[in-house]
Structure 1
């Protein structure tokens, strides 16, 4: 399955579809930051980042692992107005997607997913994994080694596993945003704009 499925999606402002977003939805990002460009090039993907969305009271929040912070929880609205506390939106394209099984998850499975994300909050970003991913382009026999650090897609995979769902990796244990976006169970919904 190709990420071409994300081309020509309906474009909606975040505020106009905010009520349609569900716990367990995915935010897929195609950034124009230097690190984002490297990730997209190495993974041969349109995507550089993925995060997990959840509803908390009347707020939409993101569980994610990012280079500068590690695993964190932030309001989804930050992507549209104050990314990196800059007072500006995220530089790049943002897409909303939904795993087909999430809507059928019983509350305890969704809670297990979110509990795992909350338990990992504060864990460091896995810089070594990114270096290995970059090196794997040249050295084909590298494999991913599990540790207590997470790149974005490893983190999302870890959360989804607690709900009994998982995504296919590259066969060597590496998982990129590309693998999640190409999963046949992941349905592209919208391109989001501020």
Structure 2
């Protein structure tokens, strides 16, 4: 089922230690934040969701990492504990709420077979940075989405993404397509509205 609009009010926040134990490879971190760029995303999509990350467990070193694509930095990986405690610009505590969610198609994936394709794409993009021109294209896609216009092919994402475009490409690597209306950009709300995505728990930010 899709993420319900009132999920952040109906799910009681759970502490980090309990959440860490249930996170699976490919789980989604949906954020509803109040910083400037987050407000822009929420304005463009008329939804509470402003940021999105994807989780991977590294059992060999006992770490849970969140990969995300953020303004001014590009694609980065941070420990889950860092992701829920501060923004990419260092604002602490995290100015908003975070939901752990799971795509139903991931239950059928294994790390040994097609699953590796997702991890390979996700980690291959680490360190990709945005130029000013790429950041402008992203902002333009957001504005186009707000006013319901279709996107000219030249403005589509190539190696520059916002967070949800990055996660959508990770999912696509294992044959999972995110349904969206083709207006502007794939938004966090598009992934939250996918009927195959369900809420797991709200994470207590700190």
TM-score normalized by the length of structure 1 = 0.90
Alignment of 1:5-44 (within 5 A): 6-7=7-8, 8-44=10-46
Contact 2:100 2:200 in 1 (8 A): yes
Pairwise CA distance, 1:42: 1.1
Equivalent position SS for 2:179: coil
Deviation per CA, 1:8-53, whole angstroms, max 9, x where unpaired?
1232011122101111100000011011111101111110011100
Contact 2:64 2:80 in 1 (8 A): yes
Structure 2 alignment gaps of length 5 or more: none
- Specify whether residues 96 and 40 from structure 1 end up closer, same or farther in structure 2 by C-alpha distance, changes over 3 A only: same
Contact 1:97 1:189 in 2 (8 A): yes
Tell me the distance in 1 between the aligned counterparts of 2:179 and 2:11. Answer: 24
Alignment RMSD: 2.0
Contact 1:3 1:178 in 2 (8 A): no
TM-score normalized by the length of structure 2 = 0.85
Match of 2:83 in 1: 79
Match of 1:116 in 2: 121
Tell me the distance in 2 between the aligned counterparts of 1:106 and 1:21. Answer: 15
Equivalent position SS for 1:101: helix
2:63 corresponds to which of 56, 59, 63: 59
Contact 2:45 2:145 in 1 (8 A): no
Tell me the distance in 2 between the aligned counterparts of 1:105 and 1:170. Answer: 26
Match of 1:91 in 2: 95
- Specify whether residues 10 and 178 from structure 1 end up closer, same or farther in structure 2 by C-alpha distance, changes over 3 A only: same
